Amino acid sequence: MFADQSVSDWAIRNDTSAFFKALKPVRRGGELYAGKYVVPPVAAVYVLGIALRNQDMRDFVTGCMSSWGAQSLVRKGVYLVVGRRRPETAPNDPNEWTFPGKGDWQMHSFPAGHFANAMACATYWNNRFHLGVAGSAMYALAAAIGVGRLADRGHWTSDTVLGGLLGYAVGKEVARRSLRRENDHAVRTTQLYIAPDMTGGVSTGLRWTF
């Protein structure tokens, strides 16, 4: 938190630099900022997963949604307890807090929402599917969203760090639970058998492995 003011000043001063211009698609007003170009292909993956009866494809979507929703509930709970003004309306005062929080969107700086959303899904996908290089690219995209919000004056650095940690923790836990369910399903079998017995008769039974 001691670095909040200096990092915010740096981001604002360099807002027009090539670095921040490269982040334009994920910044406020960019194509990927609101998610309208992200939702259709993700929804298509889910529909395709249903059509192909592919559980991994369905888990790819539902796990991200679960991670997103779970950390969103935590964040909104924090907003009710404590409010912090965004740099957009308090560029020279990173310590304008209210207890309890307020409904004003400008007081919802702590923790960072967009970065938490992105990190939750990126972490879930990486831990659930072990994506390798593609997973690293997802983390890089999530980081770009977090850094871009600094230049947008949406959050202070400490807000961004906490949002990232929250998203990571929730995404990893959802992935762990998803993998556990998959492993449990893999070892469960139900088998009806009919076999001759030692007396010359026939025995039947139901074997359930779990």
- 113: CB partners within 8 A, 6+ apart: 72, 75, 163
Residue 201: half-sphere exposure toward Cβ, Cα within 13 Å: 3
What pTM was computed for the model?
0.82
Helix (H, G, I), strand (E, B) or coil at 80: helix
Question: Token pair of 40, please?
Answer: 């259709």
The closest alpha carbon to 170, from 75, 80, 34, belongs to 75
Residue 108: strand pairing partners: 84
Range of the domain at 197: 4-209
So what's the pLDDT on residue 185? 66
Residue 16 neighbours by CB distance under 10 Å: 9
The total domain count for the chain is: 1
CA distances from 139 to 111, 132, 149, 185 (A): 18, 11, 16, 29
Q: What per-residue confidence (pLDDT) applies to 43? A: 87
Residues of the chain below pLDDT 50: 210
- pLDDT at residue 33 in the model: 78
Quick one: pLDDT at residue 197? 65
CATH number at residue 109: 1.20.144
User: pLDDT value at position 131?
Assistant: 86
Q: Quick one: pLDDT at residue 150?
A: 92
φ/ψ (deg, to 5) at 32: -100, 0
